[in-house]
Amino acid sequence: MDGDVFDVDIALGDERQLGWALAQLRERYPSHSIVPSELTGKRVVKETYCSERFRLRSGLGGDDFFRGALKSAFNLLGEEMTEVALSSAFDSVRNFVLQGRGKACSYVRWATTDENFSVPSIGEFDHFVGVYSTGGCVDGIVQFFGSIPFLIRLSDSFAGEEFQLAYLVDPTREGNPAEIRNPHFDAHVLPPFGSGAEVPDASARKAYQARFLGLLSRHYARADGLHIRAIVEQALSPYEGEVAPQEVLDELQMKLRAFFYHKLGLPQPAND
């Protein structure tokens, strides 16, 4: 501070936060003139890693969620076996999906272990829907991101011929193919509908906690790999087939070092 002149340093995560920062300055120094154009004209754009921790809360379950999961399975049935799906054997689940009539536990059960279900896969984050007839019932499984399964029942009064349907898709679209219609799976090795928990009891909560931790671990590993690849490609792609200049290699080394220091929770070297 020199007389009535202030030097102000403002660090923003996004340019859109400038309005909030100006409001804070005007509130604190109401008698001083603040010119926004002077701030934006002197801005310096820097990239760095966020050192703050974020707390995220994730919800799972509920009637609307289960109605959507059941709809995906029922759509598979309707696409492959339209006449069967239109029969009265599925009126109960149809009313639950369309109008929310009934209780979710009549049609959806929670897994009680964190063991992987024996279903086909393309990658690590597949969505899988399987529907099959068994002993007068039409049961199935809906699994999200390769880790979060639910046992489902579409009918307990089915009198038709035995069948088995499935749909598998890689939401990252990295697999080739990225989706498979009616991949083979063995319905007999899947947990029966009745073995699942009607509500997320202690065993179910423990199982899904372990499943979520595994999913997050795979997600972060994939995200780190994509980030490292982006750093390398951004630096070296302009020099494909050529020897990159030393200053480019030095900058690449600095960016990779900064990333790994951040991942390990270490302070960045002073020269960075």
Predicted local distance difference test score (pLDDT) of residue 4: 62
**Among residues of the chain, what percentage have pLDDT more than 70?**
91
Task: Work out whether strand 108-110 and strand 164-169 pair parallel, antiparallel, or are unpaired.
Answer: unpaired
The pLDDT score that the predictor gives to residue 1 is: 43
- Name the percent of the chain in helix, strand, coil, to the closest 5: 45, 15, 40
What pLDDT score was predicted for residue 270? 66
Mean pLDDT of the chain: 89
Q: In terms of Cα–Cα distance, which of 157, 142, 177, 171 is closest to 60? A: 142
How wide is the angle at C-alpha 194 spanned by C-alphas 188 and 195, nearest 5°?
75
Q: Has residue 39 got a pLDDT over 70? A: no
Lowest mean pLDDT segment, chosen from 3-17, 64-78, 120-134: 3-17
pTM, 2 dp:
0.77
Give the tens place of pLDDT for each residue, 158-198: 999 999 999 999 999 999 999 999 999 999 999 999 999 99
- At 23 the pLDDT is 85
Tell me which residue of 111, 113, 99 sits closest to 63, measured CA to CA: 99
Give the model confidence (pLDDT) of 204-250 as tens digits.
Answer: 999 999 999 999 999 999 999 999 999 999 999 999 888 999 999 99
Q: Model confidence at 10, in pLDDT bands (50, 70, 90)?
A: confident
Instruction: Identify the bridge partners of residue 164 per DSSP, sorted by sequence position.
Output: 132
Taking a C-beta distance cutoff of 8 angstroms, is the pair 207, 112 a contact? yes
Distance CA 248, CA 261 (A): 20
User: Tokens for 183?
Assistant: 């991949």
pLDDT at residue 237, as a whole number: 92
**CA atoms of 241 and 235, how far apart (whole Å):** 13
